[in-house]
A = this chain, B = another copy of it.
Amino acid sequence: MNKSFSLSLFLCNRSRQRFQNSSTLLNKRVFFSVFCCHTVKFETVTIKDIARALGLSTSTVSRALRGSYEISPETKKLVLEYAEKINYRPNPIALSLKERKSRSIGVVVSEIANTFFSQAINGIESIAYNRGYHVIISQSHESYEREKVTIQHLASRSVDGLLVSLSNETIDLSHLKQLHDKGLPMVFFDRITDEINTHKVTANNVKGAFDATQHLINKGFTRIAHITNSPNLSITKERLQGYQEALKKNNLPFDEKLVHYTLHGGMIYEEIQDEIQKMFTARQKPDAILTASDRITTSCLTALKAAGKKIPDDISVIGFTNTNIAELFNPPLSAVRQPAFDMGQAATELLISIIESKRPVTEFETRILDTELFTRESSEHFPPTT
């Protein structure tokens, strides 16, 4: 009695819903629009369907599905079996609304097509998927504007946290500060900032640059140029510091003119080309170059080749890059490699720890992971200085 009543009520609701959908169409083919209402939809099974089919209430079904002690074993079995049979999957959107979280994290990097970032993303993904989070990747393409837009995009309540590596152009951090103040969990990696107090993960750039510079000095180079990102970035400052420390330790003078900043991190080839040009028309030419990032390194090699410069005969090169084909270059490229995968993993673990923390997190850490130096032919000295 009661049962049949609720059934008919349900049917009533169903048909009303269909009607409502159809009315959004401009024409009046009501009967047809039942089948192709508005945009075509993916048909899904809900908890209501199970409840109706078994003559139970939605609350009972919900509890049965999650094994609540309040439900009798027989009912549980019934529900679980039927759910399995009709391949029921909870609607994650409804869950998100209820629980006020989306189980997704946003990642903002300058470019995917960059060996460092794509490896870091693999690290991020490896942790996130295991912990049940989706990863939404977006690129700033080294533009402050695009970074702002894309972060706004992600943040409008659709991600539970953010993994950020700042763009070359970014100076003002208010777009991030605002979100951070509102309580959106975020972790910075690689290109970090002092202005926001949260977890951070970075490579030991000071040591990486120091080691690379020391290596060049050991090989006998004395006028070492440094082509680097924009001065805004943390990695720029850290790498410059390592470079300077190595010079100082070896009593070599620091010449500002040997430091070339590129505001787009090698994304604009002409920018690098110009710097190479300047380098070779200067009165005092460098004998080696330390490049500060993946893109800068490859653009620089391309520009040197275009300018007809031979490596290492005319000039030596060592670069920060995560390519795994440095060996195949002509000549094989000496490189400082960052632990990209591990950095991505560490950043994601830290982020999820904030997201899932039961109380506001106030103690933050900055993890610094070691780089690796690979010396190959591109940093040889001709003639060798034994």
Interface residues of A (CB under 8 A from B): 15, 18-26, 28-30, 32-33, 35-36, 38-44, 65-67, 88-97, 99-104, 112-113, 115, 118-119, 121-122, 125, 129, 132-139, 150, 152-154, 156-159, 182-185, 298, 301-302, 305, 324-325, 327-332, 355-361
Contacts and interface: CB of A to CB of B under 8 A. Distances in A.
26 contacts: A20-B158, A21-B96, A21-B104, A22-B92, A22-B134, A23-B89, A24-B90, A24-B92, A24-B103, A26-B89, A29-B66, A29-B90, A33-B66, A36-B359, A39-B355, A40-B360, A42-B182, A93-B97, A112-B122, A113-B115, A122-B139, A125-B138, A134-B136, A135-B137, A137-B137, A305-B328
A45 to B, nearest CB: 10
A20 B22 CA distance: 26
Given A22-B134, A298-B325, A330-B329, A38 B89 contact: no
A139 B355 CA distance: 24
A136 B133 contact: no
A126 to B, nearest CB: 10
Contacts of A129: 138, 150, 153
Contact of A183 (B32, B41, B89): B41
B20 A358 contact: no
A96 B94 CA distance: 9
A23 B33 CA distance: 29
A122 B113 contact: yes
A359 B132 contact: no
A38 B358 CA distance: 5
A20 B150 CA distance: 13
Nearest to A95: B29
Given A89-B156, A156-B92, A23 B134 contact: yes
Contacts of A32: 103, 132
Most B CB contacts (10 A, CB to CB) among A42, A94, A113, A185 go to A113
Nearest to A15: B156
Most B CB contacts (10 A, CB to CB) among A91, A92, A118 go to A92
A30 to B, nearest CB: 5
A291 B67 CA distance: 54
Nearest to A88: B26
B298 A328 contact: yes
A35 B352 CA distance: 13
A335 to B, nearest CB: 13
Contacts of A152: 15
Contact of A40 (B22, B43, B113, B183): B183
B40 A157 contact: no
Contacts of A185: 40
B327 A22 contact: no
A305 B327 contact: yes
Nearest to A112: B118
